[in-house]
Amino acid sequence: MAPVFGISPWMGTILLPIIFIVVLGGAGSMLGSVLGGLIFGMTTAFGDYFIGSGVAQIGLYALIGIVIFFKPGGLFGHEEEMGL
């Protein structure tokens, strides 16, 4: 990430979106994480351009919420793999 974005002490604040990417894709599934990251990155980038950053992120988190509600294990995971 450093060559693209530069570094700062606040880089760690990306931790929360990362957790949601993993949960969206499904914990324990590599493909799920890749797809979750793809959805997250694409929605953020295109949303920034077309409908504004705030609305795009709200929509994205609402989407993640719907996925968690209907499929608590994520798109490609199983619920019991979270160990919670």
Partner 1 sequence: MKKKWDCRRMRIPLKKPIGLLALLLFVLALPLLVNSPYFVHLMIMVAMNSVLAMTFIMLLRAGLLNLSVAAFWGIGAYASAVLVMKLGFSVWLALPASTAITGILAFLVGIILIRSGGFGFVMLSALVGMVTVLVFGTFDVFGGYVGIANIPPPEPIILPFFGKVAFASKVPYYYLMVLLFMLVVAVFSAFYAAWSGRAWRAIDLSPPLAMTLGIDIFRYRLLAFVVGSATAGLMGWFYVGYFGAVLPSTFDMFKTFNIQIYAILGGLGSAFLGPVVGTFVMTAVPEFLRIAKDIEPIYTGFLLIVLVLFFPEGLMSLSAYWRRSEGGPEGIARIGRWAKALLPVSKKV
Residues near partner 1 (CB under 8 A) are: 16, 19-20, 23, 52, 54-55, 57-58, 61-62, 64-65, 68-69, 72, 79, 82, 84
In whole angstroms, what is the distance from residue 49 CA to residue 11 CA? 23
**What radius of gyration, in Å, describes the C-alpha atoms of the chain?**
14
CB of 75 to partner 1, least distance (A): 14
Report the amino acid identity of residue 57: Q
Extract the tokens encoding 3.
């060559």
CB of 65 to partner 1, least distance (A): 5
CB of 67 to partner 1, least distance (A): 10
